[in-house]
């Protein structure tokens, strides 16, 4: 039952996200409404009405422009149901190379509203969006949608974790991708809030319980309460890598290309999102690099010992199989690749940043020798979905102690998991 309610809320929310995406797109036009501004103005007006009861004339003047806004909102709603919005949005997005999760979701929602659920393009748009989105980003979209709907005067129950957590605009701009670039699995439908964010408008910190964390009540030993696979899975990662090893029967070859640097502090790690074109060949099968991110210390142990950090390169093949290439970072010389990244890594959780004119080649972080340990594992973050192939390079890269200290997380590594008879190649 909870599941059904969740899905209904999601669909409702998606409809709002579509409206929101369209409003963002239209926001350049002076005669269109920004929902967040309207809310703000409405709140201000509410206060003023109370304060200005003695001076009714003055209050009327305040209310008059808001009436106009309300009429504009009605026009927006009418345009949505007529399909004009979908047409506009599709035309606008056609010009862009790739769409963010939130835009993809919005597009799916609009198709649903305009063309109905039987339309194959609707289903495709949703599938694509859900593939891209984990619960964290879905929650952000839901919050954005709920706030937007509420601002538009729709009766909508705003989830407690959405209330005041982020403004609709801030949430909708958050192009968050899961730690392991994995769609939220069936067991990942947690409804607890993400880490507390700062309100983008007021700069005021808001108190929130963490959705999941690396310590405390939401720490790894408790992930299973909300994400059953984390506790019940039999091939969880990371592992303590130790012999005896099986012989690896094939080779891997990273083929990474430079591209615009897109870097995000998602509250759990520093992650670099990668444009299409970089691949890892596993037994000559191509796996597309989606993103890479860091853990401190390394999640994998070699003979019981962690490295200072690890970088996980997350790939997916055309069948949706995930493969993670791990490069352990041992304390030593400064790493020029890391230096380039840390220069732009946001110290606080927030949306992806793409600094002007900065490119990065993920290959700069990968040692030349491709010998590896390999095992079948899982996402090392909730929802801990299994079926992820791990390749941990035997060669380690350097990172200076200073660079380790500059990483804005004190500790973000899941402890090693039971091997449960799994073979490790190496
Ligand atoms: Zn990882």
Catalytic residue among 268, 295, 312, 315, which? Answer: 268
* 202-208 contacts, C-beta under 8 A, 24 or more apart: 206/164, 206/165, 208/161, 208/165
Residues 23/25/26/30 CA torsion (nearest 10 deg):
110
pTM metric for this prediction: 0.56
**Res. 87: pLDDT tops 50:** yes
Q: What is the pLDDT of residues 218-269, one digit of tens each?
A: 999 999 999 999 999 999 999 999 999 999 999 999 999 999 999 999 999 9
Residue 193 banded pLDDT, cuts 50, 70, 90: very low
Query: Is it the case that residue 156 has pLDDT exceeding 90?
Result: no
Q: What integer is the mean pLDDT of 112-133? A: 63
Number of C-beta neighbours around residue 248 at 10 A: 16
Mean pLDDT, the chain, rounded, equals: 77
Cα(42) to ligand 1 centroid in Å equals: 44
Q: 268 catalytic, yes or no?
A: yes
pLDDT band at 12 (very low <50, low <70, confident <90, very high): low
Q: How much distance in Å is there from the Cα of 268 to the middle of ligand 1?
A: 10
Measure the CA–CA gap between 351 and 137, rounded to whole angstroms: 11
- Cα gap 57→10, rounded to integer Å: 43
Residue 180 C-alpha to ligand 1 middle, in angstroms? 6
**What's the CA-to-centroid distance between 134 and ligand 1, angstroms?**
15
Provide the residues around ligand 1 (an ion) whose CB is within 5 A: 312
For the chain, list the domains and their CATH numbers.
2-176 (no CATH), 234-406 (3.10.200.10)
255 DSSP β-pair partners = 279
Q: How far is the CA of 179 from the centre of ligand 1 (A)?
A: 6
What is the number of alpha carbons within 13 Å of residue 202 lying toward its C-beta?
12
Predicted local distance difference test score (pLDDT) of residue 246: 97
The per-residue pLDDT for 55 is: 61
């Amino acid at each position: 039952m909870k599941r059904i309610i969740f899905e209904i809320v999601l669909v409702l929310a998606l409809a709002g996200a579509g409206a929101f995406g369209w409003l963002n797109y239209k926001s350049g036009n002076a005669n269109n409404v920004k929902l967040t501004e309207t809310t703000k103005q409405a709140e201000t007006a509410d206060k003023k009405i109370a304060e200005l009861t003695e001076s009714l004339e003055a209050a009327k003047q305040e209310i008059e422009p808001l009436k106009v806004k309300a009429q504009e909102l009605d026009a927006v709603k009418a345009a949505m149901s007529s399909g004009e919005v979908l047409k506009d949005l599709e035309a606008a997005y056609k010009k862009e190379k790739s769409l963010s999760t939130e835009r993809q979701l919005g597009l799916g929602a609009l198709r649903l509203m305009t063309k109905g659920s039987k339309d194959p393009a609707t289903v495709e748009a949703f599938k694509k969006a859900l593939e891209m989105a984990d619960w964290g980003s879905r929650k952000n979209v839901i919050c954005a949608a709920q706030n937007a709907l509420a601002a538009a005067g729709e009766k909508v129950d705003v989830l407690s974790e959405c209330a005041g957590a982020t403004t609709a605009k801030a949430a909708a701009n958050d192009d968050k991708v899961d730690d392991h670039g994995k769609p939220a699995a069936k067991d990942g439908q947690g409804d607890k809030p993400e880490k507390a964010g700062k309100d983008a408008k007021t700069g005021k910190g808001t108190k929130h319980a963490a959705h999941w964390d690396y310590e405390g009540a939401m720490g790894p030993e408790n992930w299973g309460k909300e994400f059953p696979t984390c506790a019940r899975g039999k091939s969880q990662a990371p592992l303590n890598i130790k012999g005896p090893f099986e012989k690896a029967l094939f080779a891997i070859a990273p083929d990474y290309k430079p591209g615009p640097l897109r870097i995000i502090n998602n509250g759990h790690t520093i992650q670099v999102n990668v444009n299409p074109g970089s691949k890892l060949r596993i037994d000559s099968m191509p796996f597309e690099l989606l993103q890479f991110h860091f853990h401190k210390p390394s999640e994998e142990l070699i003979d019981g010992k962690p490295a200072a950090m690890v970088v996980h390169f997350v790939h997916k093949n055309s069948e949706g199989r995930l493969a993670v290439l791990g490069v352990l970072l041992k304390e030593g010389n400064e790493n020029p690749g890391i230096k380039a990244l840390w220069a732009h890594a946001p110290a606080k959780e927030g949306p992806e940043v793409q600094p002007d004119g900065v490119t990065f080649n993920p290959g700069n972080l990968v040692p030349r020798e491709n010998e590896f340990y390999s095992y079948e594992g899982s996402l090392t973050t909730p929802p801990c979905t299994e079926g992820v192939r791990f390749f941990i390079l035997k060669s380690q890269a350097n990172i200076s102690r200073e660079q380790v200290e500059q990483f804005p997380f004190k500790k973000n590594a899941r402890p090693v998991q039971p091997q449960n008879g799994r073979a490790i190649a190496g």
